[in-house]
Structure 1
Amino acid sequence: MSRLIIYTGISKTLFDSSIKENIQKLYSISKNISDNKFTFDQIKNLPVPVQRYFKYSLKEGQHYISYVKLKHEGQFRQNENQKWMPIKGEEYFSIEKPGLVWVGKIQLLPFIWITGLDEYVEGKGNFQIKLMSFVTIVDAPKGRELDSGELMRWLGEAPLFPTALLPSDYLHWQEIDLNSARAVVKFAGLTVSLIFYFNEKGEITRMEGNRFRSINNLYVNQKWFGQYSDYTAIENTMVPMALEVAWNTQAGNFSYAKFIMTEIRYDCPVNSCEGD
């Protein structure tokens, strides 16, 4: 048992070190844009519900967000036949160049755990699930499908850092109706989009789009959707603290993640924001 504890401890240290390097890379390749300020004048030509959203979620003169660290709790399952398992996670985002690193941990027993890793760094995706940080259970095939899926995850979580949804060199909005609009992101040779739905208050309540899902090392294009709730004021922004995401399969809707945000921090220095 003592050898197992030592071995798993070394493996976890190496795993954590690799994640730390990717977080530092994520931040280093994306510029700090916090000197930019939001004004209501810049949204006057956007679709009506999108204008309503920014008037609700941002304040005049709000600085742009450059980097994000968040922590969450919640429930997770990998497929329809699994029971829900409690999960804790940390996630890091960059905005000037879209990117993310997510690490989620499910503790099965005192010395047995499962770690999920989701990354989109330098336009490349990575998704793995490891037992005790060193035995790979799932390793999604690399390629454009995975890259596209991770970029779409970034877009789906952008309501957690609203200035990322402002028009930019890579993001624009398309009008649909008074309560929905499509956000389109073109980045690193890929184009992804999601339809966002807005209530009268201006909150984004749900999203949907088609996303590649890895099943038995093969990708299928399925409808992916999510719901946002429990909006809370975080550093002059209004953001949803609860997020549930699901796939639409032939058998019906399959919800696989229910996250409750426990901490959201914007633009803290990389050495203090990462891993603390």
Structure 2
Amino acid sequence: MWIFFTILIFIAAVVIFFQLPGSKTMSEFRDSVDSSITKIEKQTDVFSEEDLVALPLPVQQFFRSCGYLGTPKMSYMKATFRNVDFKLSDKKTIKIDYVQYNFVKKPERFAYIDSSLICIPFEGFDSYDNGIGSMKGTFAKVIPLFNQQGENMNRSCLVTILAECFLVPHVALQDYITWKSIDDTHSEAMISYNGISASGVFTFDENGEVLSFKTSDRAAMDMNGSVRKAEWSAVYSDYQVNNGIRQPKVLKAIWYYPKEDSVYFNENQAGVVIEYY
């Protein structure tokens, strides 16, 4: 009987622990974000035509048609997703809440994933800080599942920042990104930092809205560390006006594997809320 009650107490304690807010992974995410925010110098400038002179025509058209000219230049962005489809593997898709911060002055990006597996908390923390990229996963708040690092991860995180530069457009004007004209609806961009470079091609529509970014410089890395060769794309759609600025409401990420394409992030097309600071 005592054994039975001990097991019940243990189970109750575990359930309560899972329900408590906060975790080591969340604290690491918050500490990283807060550390970067404290180093920010307040922006006082606005986007102007002078900023666009050296940019390819489709990039210039983006700033004009999406309403950024005359608006304040941002120091960082917060993007919030809720109830997003996320593929852990070819056979396993979960729902996640996802919050990310992208910073401008130097390429920094921090993202926190909140989800569950078999009703037990699953968390993820993606980061690119001081030229180092990492992707961590934690089960039941305390059990490490994976911690991917290395040159492939450094380049993958860096090119992700490039892919998202039009979500926080001040990034597109920074010296660590260089632009090359292709035609009226395509522009090539390269991002370089800490001795590593990555590049890809942006596609725009005739109105200047970004439709997609495609690259071969992002590693398709599984949780066990294995890497597959594939092209990767970030897709932007459903533009809506927010405080006078046209922003994409839906963002998806796709792997182009030899056998089939895989929409591994946001196949259900959940909306995103973008905030500038």
Check whether TM > 0.5. Answer: yes
Number of equivalenced pairs:
262
1:194-273 correspondence runs (5 A): 194-210=200-216, 211-215=218-222, 216-258=224-266, 260-267=270-277
C-alpha distance after superposition, 1:190-249 (max 9, x if no partner): 111121000011100111001122233233442111211011223443221101111111
Q: Does residue 56 of structure 2 align to residue 50 of structure 1?
A: no
- Does residue 32 (structure 1) correspond to residue 41 (structure 2)? The answer is yes
> Are residue 172 (structure 1) and residue 182 (structure 2) matched?
no
Q: In the alignment, does 2:103 pair up with 1:94?
A: yes
TM-score (norm 1): 0.86
Structure 1 CA distance for aligned equivalents of residues 237 and 106 of structure 2: 27
Cα distance in 2 between the residues matched to 1:57 and 1:117: 31
Contact 1:182/1:195, CA 8 A, preserved across alignment: yes
The answer for the alignment partner of 2:3 in structure 1 is none
Separation (CA, whole Å) in 2 of partners of 1:22 and 1:113: 21
Match in the other structure for 2:68: 59
1:79 maps onto 2:86 in alignment: no
TM-score between both structures, scaled by the size of structure 2: 0.86
Q: Percent identity?
A: 22
Matched letter for residue 81 of structure 1: K
Partner Cα separation in structure 2 for residue 130 and residue 222 of structure 1: 26
Question: What is the alpha-carbon distance in structure 2 between the residues aligned to residue 153 and residue 242 of structure 1?
Answer: 16
Q: Is the 8 A contact 1:12 1:132 kept in 2?
A: no
The 2-side partners of 1:39 and 1:183 are apart by 21
Q: 2:25–2:124: 8 Å Cα contact kept in structure 1? A: no
Structure 2 vs 1, CA of residues 192 and 237 (structure 1 numbering), >3 Å: closer, same or farther?
farther
In the alignment, the residues of structure 2 paired with residue 60 and residue 261 of structure 1 have an alpha-carbon distance, to the nearest angstrom, of 25
What is the CA deviation profile of residues 14-56 of structure 1, one whole-angstrom value per residue up to 9, with x for unaligned ones?
3322221111123234x33522321123313322211211111
Find the residue that maps to 1:160 and give its secondary structure.
coil
Shift of 1:11: 9.4
Residues 133-172 of structure 1 mapped to structure 2, 5 A cutoff: 133-140=141-148, 142-166=149-173, 168-172=174-178
Q: How far 1:6 sits from its partner (Å)?
A: 4.8
Q: Which runs of 5+ in 2 are unaligned?
A: 1-10
Q: Which runs of 5+ in 1 are unaligned?
A: 268-276
